Structures are given as structure tokens and as C-alpha cells.
Structure 1
Amino acid sequence: MNKKNYVILAAVALAAMTGCAGQKEAKSTSGIDLANMDTTVSAGTDFFRYACGGWNDAHPLTAEYSRYGTFDMLFENSQKQLRDLIEGLAAQQNNQPGTPAQKIGDLYNLAMDSVTLNKQGVEPVKPRLDEIAAMTDKSQIVPMMTKLLYDGIGTYFRNYVYADPKNSALNIFQMGQGGINLGEKEYYLDNDSITQNIREQYKNYIAKLFTLAGFSETEARQKMADVMEIETAIAKVSFSAAQLRNPEANYHKMSYDEVKKTFPGIDWDAFMKGLGLENVTEVNVEQIEPIKEVDKLINTLPLSKHIAYLQYNLLDAAASYLSDDFIAARFDFYGKVLSGRQVNQPRWKRAVNSVDGMLGELVGQMYVEKYFPAAAKERMVKLVSNLQVALGERIDAQEWMSDSTKVKAHEKLDAFHVKVGYPDKWKDYSDLKVEKDSYWANVCRTAAWNVKDMYSRLGKPVDREEWLMTPQTVNAYYNPSTNEICFPAAILQPPFFNMDADDAANYGAIGVVIGHEMTHGFDDQGRQFDKEGNLKDWWAEGDADRFQERAQVMVDFFNGIEVLPGLYANGQLTLGENLADHGGLNVAFLAFQNATKDAPLGVVDGFTPEQRFFLAYATLWAGNIRDEQIRVYTKSDPHSLGKWRVNGALPHIQAWYDAFNITPDDSMYIAPEKRVNIW
């Protein structure tokens, strides 16, 4: 399901762990692996290297990865667990038709059957490819868009059904920019040598797909030019990733009649009919300009260019599910050129990821039954409660926030809906059929099932119990539309939480992650939503200005970080995640102090409890990354790079200075008056 950028604020995009609030089992240890450190570097010079240098040296990047960190270790572990479950079902010969075992097992076997896939080649998509080629009139473009949507393929713009940002109890039809397969507008417009090379390689990739589909080299190059013309035109008027972070600027609620008047060149009745929707009365158009450009393109460019564009979107979406030559072509661009990876994942990993992506909660039920201990859920809920208390104390301590806003902030904090482990109610996949005709055919059937499920919610109340991540997802999120924080089961496991470790490590690790999610409710985006999840200004006069003034310190600080020679971090794009890290550290450290005030912890392995807290936090971000992936993340990821979630976050935390005796002589030192000071 497509969601607007500010609906889900993912926890850490990297990993976290479970926690125990003041409870210990067996022998308590420090929770710190000294081998992960590099103490030849001083803590005040490069804390990331100091805390993580040993881990990074012991885990060099392999050809398969563009980034490998502690998260990737946990994801690999989860992937192997899923493989055991899925392959067990796939090996069974007599799975009853329509059962979860049959659906999961057959889909996996289709994904693994390289002989059949290579024999089929382009054939699975040929009927749709030919249908697009047979279009004779522009009036057929919009109906074809909707057919492709039911195949899981987006084209000129995206649409979805979800909570109205200003009426969060009700699902509404929403539209937003899309149609550019490189994701960010800068790839089409920037003219530095590296971006120009990426663009040229992208053109080669487009042409390659067309030649693999049976077109001549001349036809392929012409179709590539047509695709680039349309994508570049849309990119020029699209919002940047940073602009998409402004909820108010991305909300334009219109009546259906207003939509028709605003974009008169698009046949909206045909569009809604193709989607199977009736009685659409209101629409939230997130970004107006890109859809106006689509209106213009449809009505000014010749049909042949649109045929090329629609065919390319089909081929690009299907390439991962076709023969090895298509898979290799896609990997050569998205894997090698964009991310710097050298070899593709083995087929079993790709097959597991595919089954997991298409049948998420079916797989999730099996995962939870086998791998998620019931006790973890209860302990996690208790730890969340401790962090809520600490965040309430931090709110009360803020001099820049008025008393009336503090009251509202407490109301929002108290209204947090906490989700841990797995949903209470699972999705019903009984209507979804998995058949043995082709891998791609099942991809399309699964996509159609998801699209129908989403559209069925139009005009209905928002289901606040729905999960936006599966239990086996190694991540967490805050959703402002439902004011919820969610911690899936897969993130609540070793090696990131040590059942034998004391509270210093656990609060520094999972505690900060919980605090991070809670702080998202009060970051530059989340603070604009009230306790009910409505986009509404609930701050007293002057408080927002004082918040923004302090947040600008964070923006300016990260803007000054040079992540590669000549490439700087984007402080505005990463503001929300950086603020959440800042708040998470402050809130978790206070919660740690509260939890241990009656029974202070001692020095273990040569480190004080306070030092272990910050070492545990830094270890979350251990990892190596290729330059190519750094560039991708810097253009598009609202999270700062792992290194800077340590070296950029900690210099604004006074407790870190106290713990490691950081002085003005240390290169990481920031004068108190220049530090971020919000939560």
C-alpha cells in the first residue's frame, strides 16, 4: 500500500532490540563486547570508530552488500528462519489447495524454478506488453493505467486509500506524485559528473529491457528517449524528498468535481471505473503540480511515447520475476550502478524476500508461533511505559514550551497506542489464489488482492488495529495518523538485546529506540498531528517558532557534515530522524537513571554504567557502506548515515560529555550554546 511520506516514520531503518525494565535473569553482564571497539581512537575524536571499529574491521563488505551493519546481521538471521519455515512447506507434496501451506510453498517453488523462468523469458508479460502496443487512441491511456495498477505497477502518479490527514478516523482516496522510476528528482536534473553517469547508465538499462523484450536496438533507443522525456518532465515539477516532509504543504483536499476541473485533461470517470470505485466524493491531492504535468503530457505528447512509457514500467516492475537475463539487467543498474553491490543475492534469498513481501502476514503467523517468546511482549510493554514516564518528565522540563502546550503534549503522550510483536487479528488471504501458471502471474494476482483490499476501505473508518509492518520485519515505526508506536517481533530478538545484560546496555539500546519512536510524535512532522492523529495546530502561540528555532540548529549542524568529498548531508531531509535520535537519547538516559536510582550499577569491564549506555547505543549503528550507497541515502533517506547517528547525535547530549570526560580539546566537542536543545 502506498502511504504518504509522513504517515510512517520508521524507527531506525536499522535494527533495535527488546528490553527488560530493571529485570535481570541469570548472571548480569555488561552487555558490551569489547572486541567491537577500537580503543586506539579516543572517544572524543571519533566515537563511532571508538565504539564500533572492531566490529567494522571484523565484518568487511562482501560482494553481495552495499551496506552491512548490525541490522543486516539481524535481517540475515530472520531471513534464514523464514527460509526454514518456507522451504519446509515447499518440500511437501500434498499441500491442500487454498491452504497457507499451498500458497507459500507453491509461490516459493515458482520463484526458485530458474529452468522454467529462463525457458519462458519475456512470455509471462507478453500479453500485457502487446495490449499496450495495440492502443490506438489516447483515451485508452487511463484505462491502461488502472490495469497496470491491478498488476502492482504504478505509472504517472500514485494513489491509495488511507486516513484523511485532517479527519484521521475516516479513509479517503488520495493521490500524489510518482512516475519517476529513479525515485528522486535530482537524478534527472543534477549535472554533476556522478549523477550524469548514473543517468546515462539508466538510459542503457531502459534500452536493455526493450531489447530483451524483443525490440530492435533502434526501437529500444527510441523508446528509451520517450521514457526519459516523460520521466524528466515529471521530475522537474516533483517535490524533493525534503519538501515531501511538510504535511500541510502536501495536503489539498478537493471535491471530485474540483479534481475534474483542476486536471481536465485526465478522464477521471474512466480512472475510477478502472479501479472499480464508485461514489468518490472527496480526494486529497498531495502534490498538484506533478499531476498537472501528467495532464499536460497526456494531451500534448504523441501516443507512441506513452506506449513506450507504459511498456517500460511493465518491464521494469516485472524484471525481477522473469528470466535470468532480465534479472541481471535490473541488478546491473539498481544493484551495481546505484548501490555499488558487486553480485546479486542468491536465488533463495530473493525467493524468500518475494514470498515474504507478497504473503506477509501468512508468513508472519508461522514466524511468531516458532520464534517469538510470549514473555518478550509483556516485558517490552513495561519498558515502553517506563519511557513514557521519562518523556513526560522531559516535556515538563522544557523552558521553551508553554504550560498549555505541555498539557496537550501529555495528552498526546498518554494516548499513544502501543503495538508489540504481532497483530491481534491476522489478514484473511482465503480469496487469494496461488496457481502454477507462472511466477509473474502470481505476482499480479497478489498485487490485485492487495489493491482490492485497500480500495475496499474507501469511506470506511480507519482500522487502528491494522499493522503497517509484518511481525518478521526488522524495524519499528511511529504513525502520526493513528498516534501509534509499533515494534514488530523480529526487532525484539538477539543479538541486540542481551537477556543477561544489565540496564545500562538495555536502556542504551532498545530504550533509545523506544524513545526515538515516541519523540517522532513531537518532531518537526509528528508535532503537527494531535492526539487523535489529525493534522492540526495544537501548539500555543510562539511555541512552534521557538521549536523551529531550536530545530534549525540541528538542520545547520547536519548540513555542515561532509559525508563524501564534496557531498554534504541534508539536514532538512533528515531533521525528523535526527530529532528523534536526540529525544530518544535524552529520554532513555533519564529512564535509565530512574530505573537504577535505588540500586546504582557499578563499573563492569572497565566502563561505568553511563559509558555502557552510550556504547550500547553506538553499537546499533556499527556497519560498513559503499560510497555509491552513501550517495543514494544522502539523496533520498530521511535517516542520517549510521556513522553520523553516532558522531552527529552524541555531541548534543550533555550526559555523553560527562560520561567520557569530553573537553574542548576533543574534536567532537561542541560549545553548549551551539548544541541542539529540545527534548
Structure 2
Amino acid sequence: MKKLNQATVRGGAGDTTAAESARIQDNLYLAINGEWAKTAVIPGDQPRTGGFSDLADELEKQMLADFAGFREDPSQVTDPILAEAVKLNELALAFEDRDQAGVAAAQPVLDEVAGVTSWADFNHQLATLIKDGVAKPFSLSVEPDMKNTDVNLIYLDVPGLILPDKTYYAEDNENGAQLLAVWTKMAEDVLAKFGYNAEAAAKEVAQAKQFDALIVPLVKNSEELADYTKQYNPYAFADVVKLVPDVDFAGAITSVFGKAPEKVVLTQPHYFENLSQLVSEANFPLYHSWLLVNMILSTTSALTDELRILGGTYGRAIGGQKEASSHEKFAYRTANGYFDDAVGKYYGEKYFGDAARQDVAQMIHKMIDVYKARLADNTWLSQATKEKAIVKLNTIKIKVGYPDKLQPIYAQLKVKTAADGGTLLGNILSLNQVVRAYSFAKLDQPVDRSRWAMPGNLVNACYDPSFNDITFPAAILQAPFYSLKQSSSENYGGIGAVIAHEISHAFDNNGAKFDEKGNMTNWWTDADYAAFEKRTQAMINEFDGIPYSGAQVNGKLVISENVADGGGLSCALQAAKSEADVDLPAFFTNWARVWRLKATAAFNQLLLAIDVHAPGPLRANVQAQNMDDFYTAFNVTEKDGMWLAPEDRVNIW
């Protein structure tokens, strides 16, 4: 597979030094966004700025103003659930009260940690530790059974690592070593605020890192996790109990759920096959330090402002942010974190409305029809597979804007005000317990397909293969993605491509393994799937190794999103061409505009290691290079930087 030429690589990497002379024919992304990049400023409390981020920032400014109005005049809030969000917002803003209280609100957490003095104590209290969300050498959730999405199963997963990904622990990863040093100092400084002397703090943090190091070789990296169907490994519960005899799964899970489940899913069997070695008596002091440090760090944002800023040091280092968020942003994000669907519903109803929701729904239906037509004309699939694919398209559930009704969980989320003796941390711990209990109760309930995967105030969109549904929050349905003031071609280059992107996820390397009901099953003929894999490998090869921000793109990590990008752009292009006012230069210009991005070096490194999306500039350039119409729209020839030989252009859908 022919690699991108140097002009494309340089521009895709965000080099704006040639912005004044950049031509679309040499570098689409740079020509459209180069001048913007010269003056764009990354906010101090953000790791990036650009298309998605700019919309999110503007939305947040509006919501900060609205919440200030709610606090000033509570009578504006007629929704009782939104009123609870405002109460939490007010509590989060009470920095003076928390500064005076110090770390007192964290005492229940410290007491619970102190009560775990051995693995015997751990097992005796395990049911309570699960309910309370205390850090354990595993995590537990209840999700739809991938092979029968009408029912829910218990999923046992691995614990999180200190560093963002397993690859950061490699000896030659300087970024990982630097981040671990930042985490170490932060953790020691935080423990000092909790009364630990320097020697004791250093010992606890060192032992926590030792326990973390024991986990690293047993878990998968982000590339391995990108094929999420491999995380479905159902086991008879009795076999899991035998597999890890040193953890009382039998007693704890039976206590939490009121019965012993017939089966559970292990997301990473290799880890659980070795878990008994991890929970040895010799390792208990290391685990206890890991538990202590993790739990203390989890409380810092809800205590004093000094601890909020100090406890966020490592998180900011990962993304390269220069400063902590303001008090107002912190308070809004805290409230939104627990009441996001309620806040999103308010936002959608006030700033988006039902008329726009219906208009976008029409666009989605049209894009599905385009997809059906493309499938009908497909030359490399058999008729049997095409018919199955169309059945899947016909049953996709469309969710646009915001939900009409909120999930029952929101009625259970109650905030205890300061006047009633409530603290921010106390409320957070209580709310987390309610959320966990609600999630665990799903085990005995039918899968709720009406739930929304994203709130209305999130600038994003998604496809869920287990539900076969697509969600387009109201927040993304604005310029440059969508506007009645834009031409049809601009809208198709923006929201049209996003819509088709999400539809394409039903047929990416992961989504293709799920049927119209969201069940993981093979509905392809062997020959068709082999042809599909050949094409996805070409997409992997096309992106793999492209230099970006001092590193390289991992083609395997970003394949699912690249398949969706390619399918989305080609289908949106066909829809744009069906309109009387088609303007292909405007289509590709807006496609490049929505991917504008300026990010810190640390954030770019993070995304290259863990993000399943290719960097925005490369999404703009490489996918355009794969479209024959791009060459005719801008008269691109072999002499130009954007030229890619026809035989090297990758098109799947």
C-alpha cells in the first residue's frame, strides 16, 4: 500500500508553518484550517481546541449562565430532577465551607479502608466493598449479554492502571516515566494533606505503585481492547469461583445480587486466571497501599480547593492542561455528571426544539436510504449478506436531540443540602451508591432499549451495536455540523457525514459482528467476510505508521473509526450529489473544517496511544484522498500533494 506523500504527512501532523501558501490540492486540512491554527488558543484548562471543543465550550458558557440564573431565582426550575442538579451545583460552589472543614468529610472513606487489614477482612467485607465502590483488584458491572441482548449479565473486568495504557510502562516510553513521576509527587503531597509524614507517604505511594506494576503484565493494551467482541468470554459462575478461589466471589456476588448467577462474563480471562497470584498474602501490604492511595485521591476534588487543584495535577499532566477548571465550571460539571440527561433535556427543549429534531430525523432516514442503495449496488457482497445488512438498517433505532422521558434512576437521586448537614463528598458517595444499586438491579430486569447512550448537551454522536441504535444529541446539531443557514452540501459535509459515520459503525470491524437485534452472531457468508477483512486490512495499512505529533498512528487501534469515517464520507457525498444545489468544493471544505484541531503535545501523545479515532487532521485529509470526487472537485493531479493513486484509494462502504 502506497504511503501518504510528505506534504500530506506534514499538514496532517498540524504543521501550520506553510499555512499562507497551502493549497487544497496539496493539503486539504491545512488549506482550510491553517490560518485558524495560527491564532487559535488552547484554553488553559483544556487540552485542545477546535471544532467539537469550540461547540462544547460555547454550550458550557450558556449552561453556566443558566445555572447562575437558577441559583439566583430557583422558581425558574420547574423540573424537580433539574432542581436536584441545581442543589448539587450550589453545594459544589461552597468552597469556603469545604476549605474550613478540611478533610473531615473523607473520614468514612478512611475508616472503611482502615477496616481492611487482611485478605480475610477483604473477603469478609467484599459485598460491602462492591456496593460502596471501594477500589478492588477487579471491577464489576451489569450489561446486556452480547449474544442475547434481551437479558443482562454480570461482567467482571480488570482494575484501572495508574498510567493511561499498558504501553506507557515500556522501558523506552519516556512519557510514561515522566507521568509516573508526576503521579508519585502528587500522591505523596496529597497524603501529606491527610496527615501522613513524608516517610509514611512515600512508603504508601511506593507500595501502591508496586501493586500497580503487578497488574500491568496481566492486562491488555488499547490496541488489543479495540476489538471489543473479544471481551465477551462467558463462564459458568461456578467455574469462576474455582478459577479464583482466593477471592470470595461466591459469597460476595450472591450477597450483592441476592442469588448466585448462572454465568458471568470475564472481559480478560488471562487476568482472572492469574488473580490468585495477585491476592497472595505477601502482596496484601501492597494492595492496601494501592487501596488507600486510590481512595484518598478519589475524594480530593470534593474537599478543599487546594486539594481539588492538587489532586488534579496528574490528570492535567496527561492532557497537558496548564490550569484547573474555574469554580463555576467545576460546580457545573459536578452537577452535570450526575444529572446529565436532565440537564441535556433542559438544553434540548430550550435551545433545540422539536422542529429541528424532526428535521434531523428526516436527514437520518434519507442517509439510511442512501446506505441501502449503496448496498444494493455493492459488487463484492453476495445477495444473502446484502439482504441481512438491509434488515439491520431497517431496524436501527434513531434517537435525536434529547429523550422525552428520563430514566427512573433520576427520581432516586436526592441531594442533601448544607442546611440539612450535607457535604459535597457525602452527597457524591451517596449518589454513587444509588447509581451502583440501580445498575446492579438490572440483572433481574429486561434490557431497557429506551435508554439514551448520550445526553442532549453532549457534542458527540454514537452507535451502540448491542442496541442497534444511533444517538445524535442536540448539542452537535449546530454549525459547522448543521445549520439552516448552510447549503445542503455544507450540511452533508458536516452532520451528514457524522450521521452516515454512525450508521457505518453497524458495519465496521466490530459492528459487523452484531445482527439487527444487537446480538453478536455471524450473519455473513465466509466469502463475504473474507472480502470485508481484506478491505479493512487495506484501511489499517493506509493509516498505520503515519507520523503525527512526534509519534505514529497505530492502524489497528483506529480501524473501526476509520471504516466508519470512510463509509460516512462516501454516503454523505452521494446524498449531497442528489441535491439540486450540489457544491462538492463546499462539501469537502466543511468536512475539513469540522476536524480542525489544536492540541497540547501531551494530549496528542495520549490520543495516539489510547484513542480509537485517528487524529482529526488525518481524518480530514486521508478520507478525502480516498474519494474520487475530491480529485474532480479541486482538479487534483499526480503533481499535487493530495494525490493518491486510484489503486491505493480505500473504499469499503
Same fold by TM (over 0.5)? yes
Q: Establish whether residue 116 from structure 1 lines up as the match of residue 92 from structure 2.
A: no
Q: Secondary structure at the match of 2:280?
A: helix
The residue identity in structure 1 corresponding to 2:553 is: A
- Residues 1:632 and 1:77: Cα distance change in structure 2 (over 3 Å): same
Q: Establish whether residue 559 from structure 1 lines up as the match of residue 544 from structure 2.
A: yes
Q: Establish whether residue 622 from structure 1 lines up as the match of residue 607 from structure 2.
A: no
* Residue equivalent to 1:590: 574
Q: Secondary structure at the match of 2:620?
A: helix
Q: Establish whether residue 191 from structure 1 lines up as the match of residue 152 from structure 2.
A: no
Deviation, structure 1 residue 146: 5.0
Match of 2:559 among 572, 575, 583: 575
The residue identity in structure 1 corresponding to 2:530 is: D
The residue identity in structure 1 corresponding to 2:322 is: Q
1:433-512 to 2 correspondences below 5 Å: 433-435=414-416, 436=418, 437-512=422-497
Deviation, structure 1 residue 273: 4.9
- Residues 1:487 and 1:153: Cα distance change in structure 2 (over 3 Å): farther
| Equivalent residues of 2:102, 2:303 under 8 A apart | yes
Comparing both chains, which one has the higher relative contact order based on Cα–Cα distances under 8 Å and sequence gaps of 6 or more? 1
Q: Secondary structure at the match of 1:214?
A: coil
* Residue equivalent to 2:230: 249
Deviations 1:146-201 (A, max 9, x none): 54554455542222111100111111111122231334112233433232222222
The residue identity in structure 2 corresponding to 1:642 is: G
Deviation, structure 1 residue 207: 2.0
Deviation, structure 1 residue 443: 0.8
Q: Percent identity?
A: 28
The residue identity in structure 2 corresponding to 1:381 is: A
1:400-415 to 2 correspondences below 5 Å: 400-415=380-395
| Equivalent residues of 2:368, 2:393 under 8 A apart | yes
Q: Establish whether residue 55 from structure 1 lines up as the match of residue 36 from structure 2.
A: yes
Match of 2:357 among 373, 377, 381: 377
Deviation, structure 1 residue 494: 3.8
Q: Establish whether residue 422 from structure 1 lines up as the match of residue 407 from structure 2.
A: no
Question: Partners of 1:247 and 1:98 in 2: how far apart?
Answer: 38
Q: Secondary structure at the match of 1:171?
A: strand
The residue identity in structure 2 corresponding to 1:576 is: S
Deviation, structure 1 residue 425: 2.3
* Residue equivalent to 2:498: 513
Deviation, structure 1 residue 84: 2.9
1:179-578 to 2 correspondences below 5 Å: 179-273=160-254, 275-335=256-316, 337-428=317-408, 429-435=410-416, 436=418, 437-565=422-550, 567-578=551-562
| Equivalent residues of 1:400, 1:546 under 8 A apart | yes
| Equivalent residues of 2:226, 2:612 under 8 A apart | no
Question: Partners of 1:421 and 1:194 in 2: how far apart?
Answer: 39
Gapped regions of structure 1 (runs ≥ 5): 1-36, 602-608
Match of 2:584 among 610, 614, 622: 610
- Residues 1:76 and 1:97: Cα distance change in structure 2 (over 3 Å): closer
Deviations 1:625-658 (A, max 9, x none): 1111000101111111111111222111111112
* Residue equivalent to 1:24: none
| Equivalent residues of 2:415, 2:427 under 8 A apart | yes
Deviates more, 1:371-380 or 1:578-587: 371-380
Deviation, structure 1 residue 403: 1.7
Deviation, structure 1 residue 92: 4.2
- Residues 1:616 and 1:220: Cα distance change in structure 2 (over 3 Å): same
* Residue equivalent to 1:20: none
Deviation, structure 1 residue 143: 5.7
Deviates more, 1:70-79 or 1:477-486: 70-79
Q: Secondary structure at the match of 2:259?
A: coil
Deviations 1:345-389 (A, max 9, x none): 211111111100111223233223322221111111110111011
| Equivalent residues of 1:55, 1:623 under 8 A apart | no
The residue identity in structure 2 corresponding to 1:675 is: R
The residue identity in structure 2 corresponding to 1:412 is: K
- Residues 1:170 and 1:124: Cα distance change in structure 2 (over 3 Å): same
Question: Partners of 2:480 and 2:492 in 1: how far apart?
Answer: 15
Deviation, structure 1 residue 287: 0.8
Question: Partners of 2:223 and 2:258 in 1: how far apart?
Answer: 32
Deviation, structure 1 residue 424: 3.0
Deviation, structure 1 residue 77: 1.9
| Equivalent residues of 1:419, 1:484 under 8 A apart | yes
Question: Partners of 1:575 and 1:222 in 2: how far apart?
Answer: 42
| Equivalent residues of 1:412, 1:530 under 8 A apart | yes
The residue identity in structure 1 corresponding to 2:604 is: I
Question: Partners of 1:304 and 1:273 in 2: how far apart?
Answer: 27
Deviation, structure 1 residue 410: 0.9
Match of 1:666 among 621, 626, 640: 640
Q: Secondary structure at the match of 1:456?
A: helix
Deviations 1:54-84 (A, max 9, x none): 3223422232222101211111122123223
* Residue equivalent to 1:657: 631
Q: Secondary structure at the match of 2:36?
A: helix
Match of 1:642 among 587, 606, 616: 616
Gapped regions of structure 2 (runs ≥ 5): 1-17
Question: Partners of 2:337 and 2:155 in 1: how far apart?
Answer: 23
- Residues 1:41 and 1:406: Cα distance change in structure 2 (over 3 Å): same
| Equivalent residues of 1:150, 1:444 under 8 A apart | no
Deviations 1:33-69 (A, max 9, x none): xxxx966311122211111123223422232222101
| Equivalent residues of 1:256, 1:281 under 8 A apart | yes
| Equivalent residues of 1:277, 1:455 under 8 A apart | no
* Residue equivalent to 2:3: none
* Residue equivalent to 2:651: 677
The residue identity in structure 2 corresponding to 1:137 is: S
Q: Secondary structure at the match of 2:507?
A: coil
Deviation, structure 1 residue 256: 1.3
| Equivalent residues of 1:151, 1:443 under 8 A apart | no
Q: Secondary structure at the match of 1:51?
A: helix
Query: Structure 1 length as normaliser, TM-score?
Result: 0.89
* Residue equivalent to 1:71: 52
Question: Partners of 2:341 and 2:85 in 1: how far apart?
Answer: 11
| Equivalent residues of 1:86, 1:104 under 8 A apart | no
| Equivalent residues of 2:135, 2:291 under 8 A apart | no
| Equivalent residues of 1:148, 1:314 under 8 A apart | no
| Equivalent residues of 1:98, 1:430 under 8 A apart | no
Deviation, structure 1 residue 95: 10
Query: Structure 2 length as normaliser, TM-score?
Result: 0.92
* Residue equivalent to 1:632: 606
Question: Partners of 2:123 and 2:78 in 1: how far apart?
Answer: 36
Deviates more, 1:609-618 or 1:117-126: 117-126
Question: Partners of 1:97 and 1:589 in 2: how far apart?
Answer: 44
The residue identity in structure 1 corresponding to 2:398 is: V
Deviation, structure 1 residue 284: 1.1
The residue identity in structure 2 corresponding to 1:626 is: T
Question: Partners of 1:144 and 1:669 in 2: how far apart?
Answer: 63
| Equivalent residues of 1:51, 1:619 under 8 A apart | yes
The residue identity in structure 2 corresponding to 1:510 is: I
Deviation, structure 1 residue 260: 0.4
